[in-house]
Amino acid sequence: MASWFKVAEFPGEAQLEELDRYLHGRQVSHRFTEERGKQILWLADASQLSIVKAYFETPQVEIEEPAHNTAVQGAGLSFHQAVNLFPLTLLTIILGLLGYLYQEYLFDARYENPLSFLPAPQAFESGQVWRLLSPAFLHFGTLHILFNGLWIWELGRRIEIFTGKINYLLLFLISAIGANYIQYFMSVGERFVLFGGLSGVVYAYLGYLLVWHRFSNNPLVKLPAGVFIFMLLWLALGFSGLIDFFISGSIANGAHLGGLLCGIAYAAIQVYWRSGSTHSKRES
């Protein structure tokens, strides 16, 4: 199990993009988190602290700017480093892949799918509590799992490094179950409706980053505006019904909307808590 070492604190408004690129260019495994209005730098290897010190002792004009940011782009990372940096993101994708394999090759359509959604009363009564969550891992076709897996990889690892593993896990569980519930309630009149996929979680991650994009200078939450526009347009097209003409089945619009709202709400609570704690510190 990897250990992280806290090596520095910076003001919440500090611009750390240059330091982030500097460390990645020198293959220093690190991450930034935000705690009570401050940005915290962590190292996976405490012996690399001298590299951090060298950054502040060297004039900025003499520092060679690396060509890429490996924590965000994933370039230059070994599998071992990726597992250490964002294991929950990788686990999410793996579970989605297993759900795809189960649905495509193992599930017998003559029977009720044991991974399909059940509301809480029925789930607890039947002892199948996992069915509150499990539809998130079901995928119907190769393109479905590829699309969702790539977005989970792109957005999830940013969030896992930015907010930490506990918050990542809470966000995932809340958004996956919340998206399932919204989709279930929007499937009026379909008693045994089967839906699934990680796209509700993808939209939760998008909503989470959309809020923090406004309130944080951390480069991990700075997505291009075009990404937000594209995904929100895709959501609108889904509700219009146009996409259903080009695919088999239909888009789980309720899951997308439910996930987006869960992600926005979770980030908003974090922002409120952080701003409240910062205000209390200033008063004291």
- Stated as kind and residue range, the H or E segment containing 5 is strand 5-11
Specify whether the CB–CB gap between 136 and 72 falls below 8 A. no
Give the distance, in angstroms, between the CA of residue 229 and the centroid of all CA atoms in the same chain. 18
Specify whether the CB–CB gap between 101 and 93 falls below 8 A. no
> What is the rounded distance in angstroms from the CA atom of residue 194 to the CA atom of residue 213?
34
R_g of the chain computed on alpha carbons = 21
Hey, which residues does 40 pair with through a beta bridge?
9, 33
Of the candidates 88, 231, 260, the residue with the CA atom closest to the CA atom of residue 162? 88
> What is the rounded distance in angstroms from the CA atom of residue 115 to the CA atom of residue 135?
6
Q: Is 256 a catalytic residue?
A: yes
- Stated as kind and residue range, the H or E segment containing 35 is strand 30-35
Catalytic position from the list 29, 175, 199, 216:
199
Specify whether the CB–CB gap between 52 and 7 falls below 8 A. yes
Q: 113-139 b/e with 16+ CB inside 10 Å = b? A: bebbbbeeeebeeeeeeebbbbbbbbb
Which stretches of the chain are DSSP H helices? 17-25, 49-57, 70-73, 79-85, 87-101, 120-125, 142-151, 157-163, 165-186, 199-215, 225-240, 253-283
Residue 38's alpha-carbon distances to 183, 222, 278, in angstroms, are 38, 18, 9
186 is written with which tokens?
A: 């929007």
Catalytic residue IDs: 199, 256
